Structure 1
Amino acid sequence: MPPYPVLSGPGYLREGLQLLMRPGLRLFVLIPLGINLLLFCALVGLAGHEFGLWLDHLKSSFPGWLSALQWLLWPLFVLLMVLVIFFTFTMIANIIAAPFNGFLAEKVEVVVTGKDEFPAFSWKELIEMVPRTMSREMRKLGYYLPRALGLVVLSFIPGVNIIAAPLWVLFGVWMMAIQYIDYPADNHKMSWQDMLAWLRSRRWACLSFGGITYLVLLIPLVNLVMMPAAVAGATLFWVRERQR
């Protein structure tokens, strides 16, 4: 077992990425990767098309000399798209990939521990897994939304809003840890509250893993590959931290 310190997130994520090269794991990576790539291209194409229409309408409503300002709008649009895609696409992609991520977490655990205590993969088993994984994803959403709303309100309070930005980042890092470590926890039928308590007992290690995951998922296209790597890394986290 690698002697990872408390700030062990990068090590787990790096090993998780290496594990994805195993032949027995490729199916659970390639299928959601293909689905999410199509979704990503569709969202970007739709957003670009709608922005172009809006820009044409804006140009027709203002004097000609203002049309020169359009070159300023495109960089702002790209920046906005990066933010929207991170928060919206990541959430949608994780919901779509949830059943595959559950199976991926199972197979990674088998590779790491050498013990196969899970049902063999079948499409029937995958379909039966959908209601449970969807329910768990909705539970994550229910945890996220009221806290995110509270941070939005905080952002509009003069004086207090100075702490809103670092709190947003800290909360996003914590949610990344919850999002991915929950897959192996759910495979072992650990309840939501018990899972949160387990994470809190390893708070710094969780924040380390969530922090590096948060950073790599901010990178468009790279995030498509790093999502399954985060599942594999989170499973390594689960197995080794429980052994400790």
Structure 2
Amino acid sequence: MRDLGKGFGFLLQGQRWVGRHGRWFGFGLLPGLVTLVLYAGALAGLVFGADDLTAWATPFADDWSSPWQGLFRGFLTALVFALGLFLAVITFTAVTLLVGQPFYESLSEEVDRSEGGRVPESGLPFWRELWISARDSLRIVLRVAFYGILLFALGFVPVIGQTVVPVLGFCVSGYFLTEELTAVALQRRRLDLKERLRLLRGRRMMAIGFGVPLTLAYLVPFVAVFLMPGAVAGATLMARELAPDTGDGPRPDPAADPGAPAPAPYGFHKD
């Protein structure tokens, strides 16, 4: 249980950090605002176009009598919008992190710098970092979607579906939200997705303590945008706890010492 409180503590520390560094808070807001505008436009388009989409997808219902045609297509329209809203919720953080890759990288580096010690760098070109982030984000979104479908099905089980399943849903969402946010700092430490998930599994309660309150806060419109800079800062502080020795001190220089082992390429870091 101590790790649960520690994770929540990192979230609060991150918000306090950006509160003390107002310039970085404003800097970190920009990607979230851009993503929010894009998502708002997409959802607005879905609201106005969902009726036409369901009518186009169900030509077999054109000759149905009233009220069955309206009920059937109305149900499908609501389902399409609910699916769109679900996808928006589970992908918002991933898309914001991609849009704001250079912003959040700089913010995370500044947090590391302010805490002392060497600031880890991946040594990769920007396009390569962006590709790795996009690939890993897609993998996480697919995992969340899989668990979401599974928990949705379990939601029909009496009693358990109305009590245990919602709690599990928030825990799963919070856990993977933590992974996405800590990835900003851990990727600079040359840890790939498999290794990052291994670290979080070892401190699962800390990841849940960080991610679940953030997930609950994200249910309030626009809150995600304003909490994102602090969430990245807090996740960087957590990354320092998860991988305290990674990136500390100078890396061996093969040119200076031919016998020294070369740094592992990204995605092939060894324990």
TM-score by length of 2: 0.64
2:209 paired with 1:208:
yes
User: In the aligned structure 1, how far is the partner of 2:196 from the partner of 2:84?
Assistant: 33
Match in the other structure for 1:150: 150
1:14 to 3, 12, 15: 12
Q: Are the aligned partners of 1:28 and 1:103 in contact in 2 as well (CA < 8 Å)?
A: no
2:229 paired with 1:223:
no
Gaps of 5+ in 2: 54-64, 68-80, 246-271
Gaps of 5+ in 1: 55-60, 64-77
The one-letter code sitting in structure 2 at the alignment partner of 1:183 is V
CA 1:82–1:116: 2 relative to 1, 3 Å: same
The CA deviation at 1:228 is 2.3
Match in the other structure for 1:104: 107
2:113 paired with 1:115:
no
User: In the aligned structure 2, how far is the partner of 1:173 from the partner of 1:227?
Assistant: 14
CA 1:144–1:80: 2 relative to 1, 3 Å: closer
User: In the aligned structure 1, how far is the partner of 2:135 from the partner of 2:85?
Assistant: 28
Match in the other structure for 2:170: 169
Determine helix, strand or coil for the equivalent of 2:36. helix
RCO greater where, 1 or 2, for CA within 8 Å and sep 6 or more?
1
The one-letter code sitting in structure 1 at the alignment partner of 2:31 is P
User: In the aligned structure 2, how far is the partner of 1:150 from the partner of 1:101?
Assistant: 32
Q: Are the aligned partners of 2:98 and 2:130 in contact in 1 as well (CA < 8 Å)?
A: no
Superposition RMSD in Å: 4.3
User: In the aligned structure 2, how far is the partner of 1:145 from the partner of 1:45?
Assistant: 23
Determine helix, strand or coil for the equivalent of 2:220. coil
Q: Which has the larger radius of gyration?
A: 2
The CA deviation at 1:95 is 4.0
The CA deviation at 1:219 is 1.4
Determine helix, strand or coil for the equivalent of 2:118. coil
Q: Are the aligned partners of 1:32 and 1:96 in contact in 2 as well (CA < 8 Å)?
A: yes
The CA deviation at 1:136 is 2.0
Determine helix, strand or coil for the equivalent of 1:190. coil
Deviation per CA, 1:5-37, whole angstroms, max 9, x where unpaired? 641233222221232252663575143133123
User: In the aligned structure 1, how far is the partner of 2:137 from the partner of 2:102?
Assistant: 10
The CA deviation at 1:188 is 0.6
CA 1:45–1:153: 2 relative to 1, 3 Å: closer
The CA deviation at 1:127 is 4.1
User: In the aligned structure 1, how far is the partner of 2:196 from the partner of 2:120?
Assistant: 20
User: In the aligned structure 1, how far is the partner of 2:152 from the partner of 2:26?
Assistant: 39
Q: How many residue pairs are counted as aligned between the two chains?
A: 227
Point out the more displaced range, 97-106 or 30-39.
97-106
User: In the aligned structure 1, how far is the partner of 2:83 from the partner of 2:151?
Assistant: 19
CA 1:81–1:184: 2 relative to 1, 3 Å: same
The one-letter code sitting in structure 1 at the alignment partner of 2:18 is L
Match in the other structure for 2:31: 32
User: In the aligned structure 2, how far is the partner of 1:153 from the partner of 1:52?
Assistant: 26
Determine helix, strand or coil for the equivalent of 1:7. helix
